[in-house]
């Protein structure tokens, strides 16, 4: 029997690509809803639900996933602490793959960012992350940029909160501190996604960069995650688990 995949946010750009990728993977499209659609029915009809909607739906959708015993693939970014807690609570009952980015290439960059953070000490190397996205994006820095910063901090044996986050510099800010990870966000046109991780010391600079040319890479990765999560034990997973890197 084909895997039944439901799509929350099916009317959006990502939703339409997800529907195409579900068919390409040989799975069954169990249904789809917009942000205000009947999520209860969608979870009841699906084996796995892929959710690329909005942070405001996260608490409801995670609760439904847990209640119906259905795996959840969550690609929504910009979550509050309460919404993050709802994701963690659902993962105690069902498998949840929660990722800032479903591109295999980006997740390889995360692994490299962690390694670079471990090798390049903050006392000698300032870490800055520059990202650019389309003009409709509502959160900044992007979820991918934050995940990249978390990877650098983890490599340095810290959380991002412990390392410190510098964002939105403006005016007379004084000298850059030693240790914090800097973020800058650019918006314009229809840029799918560009991220650069820049380590700079007094004598050299290393730049790790990823560019997405087509949103389909995210849809393909999310459907791959859906196939991986089906029948998996409850837990909070990310794409490094799907790709066999964690």
Residues 122, 36 share a domain? no
Residues 80, 21 share a domain? yes
Residues 203, 108 share a domain? yes
Q: What is the pLDDT of residue 19?
A: 97
Residues 235, 138 share a domain? no
Residues 180, 136 share a domain? yes
| Cβ-Cβ contacts under 8 Å for 108 (sequence gap 6 or more) | 243, 245
Q: What is the pLDDT of residue 118?
A: 98
- Closest to 240 measured CA to CA, from 220, 225, 223: 225
- What's the CA gap between 80 and 99, in Å, rounded? 15
Structure tokens at 123: 């006392």
Q: How many residues would you count in the chain?
A: 246
What phi and psi values does residue 2 have, to the nearest 5 degrees?
-65, 145
- What's the CA gap between 46 and 30, in Å, rounded? 6
Domain that holds residue 73: 4-102+215-242
CA 27 to chain centre: 23
- Which residue has 């998996």 as its token pair? 232
Q: What is the pLDDT of residue 112?
A: 97
Residues 40, 109 share a domain? no
Q: What is the pLDDT of residue 151?
A: 97
Residues 56, 73 share a domain? yes
What parts of the chain have a pLDDT lower than 50? none
Is residue 107 within 8 A of residue 83, CB to CB? The reply is: no
Residues 151, 68 share a domain? no
Inter-axis angle of helices 81-90 and 58-68, nearest 10:
10
Q: What is the pLDDT of residue 139?
A: 87
Q: What CATH number is associated with residue 167?
A: 3.30.360.10
Number of domains in the chain: 2
Residues 17, 76 share a domain? yes
Residues 22, 50 share a domain? yes
- What's the CA gap between 174 and 194, in Å, rounded? 28
Distances, alpha carbon 197 to alpha carbons 64, 140, 167, 236, in Å: 37, 16, 14, 26
Q: What is the pLDDT of residue 100?
A: 87
Residues 109, 192 share a domain? yes
Q: What H or E segment, with its residue span, contains residue 198?
A: strand 193-200
Q: Which ranges of 156-208 would DSSP assign to H, the alpha helix?
A: 160-163
Q: What is the pLDDT of residue 102?
A: 96
Q: What is the pLDDT of residue 234?
A: 98
Q: Which residues are catalytic?
A: 133, 137
Residues 114, 91 share a domain? no
Q: What CATH number is associated with residue 59?
A: 3.40.50.720
């Amino acid at each position: 029997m084909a895997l039944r995949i439901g799509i929350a946010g099916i009317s959006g750009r990502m939703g339409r690509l997800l529907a195409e990728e579900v068919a390409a993977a040989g799975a069954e499209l169990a249904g789809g809803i917009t942000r205000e659609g009947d999520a209860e029915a969608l979870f009841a009809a699906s084996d796995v639900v892929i959710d690329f909607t909005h942070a405001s739906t996260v608490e409801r959708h995670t609760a439904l996933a847990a209640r119906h015993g259905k795996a959840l693939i969550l690609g929504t970014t910009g979550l509050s602490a309460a919404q993050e807690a709802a994701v963690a609570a659902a993962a105690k009952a069902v498998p949840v793959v929660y990722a800032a980015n479903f591109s295999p290439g980006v997740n390889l960059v995360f692994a490299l960012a962690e390694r670079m953070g471990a090798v390049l000490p903050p006392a000698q190397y300032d870490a800055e992350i520059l990202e650019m996205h389309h003009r409709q994006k509502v959160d900044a820095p992007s979820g991918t940029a934050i995940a990249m910063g978390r990877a650098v901090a983890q490599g340095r044996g810290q959380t991002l909160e412990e390392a410190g986050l510098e964002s939105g510099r403006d005016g007379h800010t004084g000298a850059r501190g030693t240790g914090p990870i800097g973020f800058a966000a650019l918006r314009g046109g229809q840029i799918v996604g560009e991220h650069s991780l820049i380590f700079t010391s007094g004598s050299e600079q290393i730049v790790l960069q990823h560019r997405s040319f087509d949103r389909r890479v995210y849809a393909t990765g999310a459907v791959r995650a859906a196939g991986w999560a089906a029948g998996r034990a409850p837990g909070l997973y990310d794409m490094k688990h799907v790709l066999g890197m964690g």
